Amino acid sequence: MVGTPQDGHVDPRRAIPRTDVLLRHPLLVEATRRLGHEIVKRAVVAAQQRARDGELGSDDVATAAAAALDLHERTLTTLRPVINATGVVLHTNIGRAPLTPAAREAIGRAAEYVDVELDLESGRRARRGRGTLAALRDEVPAAEDALVVNNGAAALVLATTALAAGREVLVSRGEMVEIGDGFRLPDLIASTGARLREVGTTNRTTVRDYADAIGPETAAILKVHPSNFRIEGFTSAATVPELADLARSHGLPLVVDIGSGLLRAEPLLPEEPDAATVLGQGATLVTSSGDKLLGGPQAGILLGAAGVVERLRRHPLARALRVDKLTLAALEATLRGGPTVVAASLHANPDALRARSARVAEAVGGRVVPSEGAVGGGGAPGVTLSGWAVALPESYAAHLRRADPAVLARVESALTLVDLRCVPVESDDVLIAAIQSVVGLLEGSS
């Protein structure tokens, strides 16, 4: 029973501020602006209830409600930040390429109303993402036109559907690859309504094999970079120039899927094809990913002959595969915004990595060991990136994944290897703190 003045006892719950008073508190007024009245009111009511239950003092209700709202904002997505300490630059399971600061800023701007399909001069509809398409053409002058869809597989599906639905596409048996997570090239092409005509053998395919297979039902020639595997020994493959001459002589388009997204040659990765070179060698159309070696957002990029690209753009499937304004903004900023995070990780200085690793090791009780990183994302199989890592007990790996922020390290030879290649320098102290929290946890439980 609530006390009365007559018995000399006043219930402390009477001191809990009213809801309308709390909603006028400066901390909560600002939260209301960001989150809206209903979400803030629910936090206030929950804090008032905690005060009634004796968990809070009446003076702490507004602060508790604000703290709950802060947590709410930080957990609006279930995606958790992860420090990539694996040494794998394009790690598919944690989102492949981290975006550049310029791309992140561009996404923020694009979150507002923007002129994505509007010509502000005339007030009329304009080509969607024209700035991004112009940036791609500037980056690859050999491309007459460009198109962006939602991922690399979508780019290949659109090309095959628009150019060869109901007809045959010639492809080498040695290029019938699985692109990850059970998705196989034959199944992908078959879904478009085109028929794959396999030529050559797994280890050797010549231009004559393609020539012998061309017939009335042939609609295109497809060459696929095998990306995440290599065949060594007694091997051969038809080159792009050879196939370009063959395709041209029969009036067929040559589609080359280069996979990992290099627009220009990268000396560090001499076996990775790039769009500029492949188009210069005569390919009609090049398809690739935007979130791999290009270092941008997830996207599928198509570059090539203007008439072919326009044919793809006009196909009904292009509407279903198109990207949103955030992707367009991030991709354009990636192309125009200088060196990418991916490039910095690929070219990280081994001496600098060793010095940083030594600092981390000293702070957490680990030791510095040589470490071989990888490109990842299906790119440059067999290429190792020499560097250094902090070696810790194997049991640390699982605890680091559960840290805040999560730290994903590499387990190798019964050790947890914390490789700093993909860790921004400014995150070193955060990484140290995360490892120290695990050290404290394990030492306290022993």
Check: CB of residue 390 under 8 Å from CB of residue 270: no
The domain tally of the chain equals 3
Cα separation, 442 vs 73, in Å, equals 31
Judge whether 203 and 229 are in contact, CB under 8 Å.
no
**Are 108 and 246 part of one and the same domain?**
yes
Q: What is the pLDDT of residue 3?
A: 45
pTM passes above 0.75: yes
Nearest to 212 by CA among 250, 176, 175: 250
65 and 178 share one domain:
no
Residue 385 belongs to a domain with what CATH number?
Answer: 3.90.1150.110
**Burial of residue 426, with CB atoms counted within 10 A of its CB: 0-12 exposed, 13-18 middle, 19 or more buried:** exposed
Do 295 and 431 reside in the same domain of the chain?
Answer: no
Q: Cα(309)–Cα(408) distance, rounded to whole angstroms? A: 40
pLDDT tens, N- to C-terminus, the chain (446 residues): 344 445 555 566 678 999 999 999 998 999 999 999 999 999 999 999 999 999 999 899 999 999 999 999 888 888 999 999 999 999 999 999 999 999 999 999 999 999 999 999 999 999 999 999 999 999 999 999 999 999 998 999 999 999 999 999 999 988 777 666 566 777 888 788 888 899 988 788 899 999 999 999 999 999 998 765 666 655 678 899 999 999 999 999 999 999 887 999 999 998 899 999 999 999 999 999 999 999 999 999 999 999 999 999 999 999 999 999 999 999 999 999 989 999 999 999 999 999 999 999 999 999 999 999 999 887 777 788 999 999 999 999 999 999 989 999 999 999 999 999 999 999 999 999 999 999 888 877 76
63 three-class SS: helix
Predicted local distance difference test score (pLDDT) of residue 2: 45
Residues 88 and 134 in one domain: no
Q: 9-31 burial, b if ≥16 CB within 10 A, otherwise e? A: eeeeeeebbeeeebbebebbeeb
CATH number at 284 reads 3.40.640.10
Among candidate residues 282, 306, 338, the one where a domain is terminated: 338
C-alpha–C-alpha distance, residues 230 and 272, integer Å: 12
Q: Please state whether the peptide bond connecting residue 270 to the residue before it is cis, i.e. omega within 30 degrees of 0.
A: no
Domain co-membership, 233 together with 320: yes
Phi then psi dihedrals of residue 138, to 5 deg: -65, -35
Domain shared by 318 and 374, yes or no:
no
Q: Are strands 406-412 and 82-85 parallel, antiparallel or unpaired?
A: parallel
Per-residue pLDDT, 7: 53
Which of 288, 311, 338 terminates a domain? The answer is 338
What local confidence, expressed as pLDDT, does residue 1 receive?
A: 39
State which residues form the domain around 270. Answer: 100-338
- Are residues 32 and 48 both part of a single domain? yes
Answer yes or no: do 237 and 209 share one domain.
yes
Q: Are residues 262 and 390 in the same domain?
A: no
The pLDDT of residue 187 is 81
d(Cα 94, Cα 97) in Å, to the nearest integer? Answer: 9
Distance of CA 5 to the CA centre of its chain: 65
- Per-residue model confidence (pLDDT) at position 258: 93
User: What's residue 234's pLDDT?
Assistant: 59
- Could you tell me if 334 and 362 lie in one domain? no
End-of-domain residue from the set 338, 362, 384: 338
Question: What pLDDT shows up at residue 98?
Answer: 95
Q: Same structural domain for residues 18 and 112?
A: no
Say if residue 175 is in the same domain as residue 47: no
